[in-house]
Structure 1
Amino acid sequence: MLKNLDPLLNADVLHALRAMGHGDEVVICDANFPADSVARATVLGKLLRFDGADAARAVRAVLSVLPLDTFVEHPAQRMEVVGEPNTIPAVQREAQAEVNAAEGRDLPFASIERFAFYERAKKAYCVIATGERRGYGCFVFTKGVLLAPDAPSAGEQQK
């Protein structure tokens, strides 16, 4: 156990999230998503797991350490319901609440059509499968940056 770290974040997930760079994407998906086959095509090349966790819980854990990108229009995206792109199922409303809490503001999900979502996921840095049994518990998050406070330059340090 580590202090101040969500216990859902296992060593493999922490390693992947830390290794990601600005603009890299992480997919959090439900138990119905073809996670293993999609994950093989990602940068990491293997599936990460949060077995037993629902989608909202997984989103909370990941966003407790992952900054979202402020340089893109939609750093948080969701899979559209087939044939009903404007429908927001409960699983997505719950995840939206976690995104808003992590960001301290409303940051609405953008939507991605189902098959476009699959293709997007293959280009992600990694995929994290959850135990979420409800459909459409699938999300893409774009990693942002954490900037250090202004530090003195090398010349200023020598004075």
Structure 2
Amino acid sequence: MKKSALINADLSHLIATLGHTDEVTICDAGLPIPGDTQRIDLALIPGVPSFMDTIRAVLSEMQIEGVVMAEEFAEVSPTHHQALLTLIDEEARKTDKNIAVTYIPHEAFKAQTHRSKAVIRTGECTPYANVIFQSGVVF
């Protein structure tokens, strides 16, 4: 049995196969997922798993160097937005690496999900609770 925190086989495999700059989307229950992109559907019921719990699990094993969010996120869902920024800041301090944060319009965000290696769907029902992580390197 895997010893580290992330025990979901699909998530663990995804993270193990990421290369530098590969993108992974973590989304709420409502974001449309491109048909040609790997879908890892974790949603069970509304709110389970939560967006933030899923982010914590992914960041326990994934090195990130960039983050993309919709411009609308901060205004429409400020509590979740601030919680995500706090986790990103903690990750940057823990790894001593800069993490670029970029904001784009929601429609552009949805288009960019087509570049993701996978989209991880949560049970989150908070508007715009979506993020694209760009994979970094550990060296």
Question: Does the alignment reach a TM-score above 0.5?
Answer: yes
Report the counterpart of residue 63 of structure 2 in structure 1.
67
- Residue 103 (structure 1) aligned to one of 92, 112, 122: 92
* Between structures 1 and 2, the one with greater strand share: 2
| Secondary structure in 2 matching 1:104 | helix
Answer 1 or 2: higher relative contact order, Cα 8 Å, separation at least 6. Answer: 2
Structure of larger gyration radius: 1
State the 1:93 CA deviation: 1.3
**Which range moves more in the overlay, 49-58 or 100-109?**
100-109
For residue 137 of structure 1, what is the amino acid of its counterpart?
Answer: A
State the 1:101 CA deviation: 1.8
Instruction: Give runs of ≥4 in structure 1 deviating > 6 Å.
Output: none
For residue 67 of structure 2, what is the amino acid of its counterpart?
Answer: A
For residue 4 of structure 2, what is the amino acid of its counterpart?
Answer: N
Give the TM-score normalised by structure 1: 0.73
5+ residue gaps, structure 2, are: none
Report the counterpart of residue 78 of structure 1 in structure 2.
69
Report the counterpart of residue 79 of structure 2 in structure 1.
90
- Give aligned pairs, total: 131
| Secondary structure in 2 matching 1:48 | strand
State the 1:108 CA deviation: 6.7
- Residue 14 (structure 1) aligned to one of 8, 12, 15: 12
Structure 1 residues 100-134: Cα deviation after superposition (integer angstroms, max 9, x where no partner): 22222785732111110011001111100011111
For residue 121 of structure 1, what is the amino acid of its counterpart?
Answer: T
Hey, what's the Cα distance between the residues in 2 that align with 1:95 and 1:49? Answer: 20
Report the identity percentage.
27
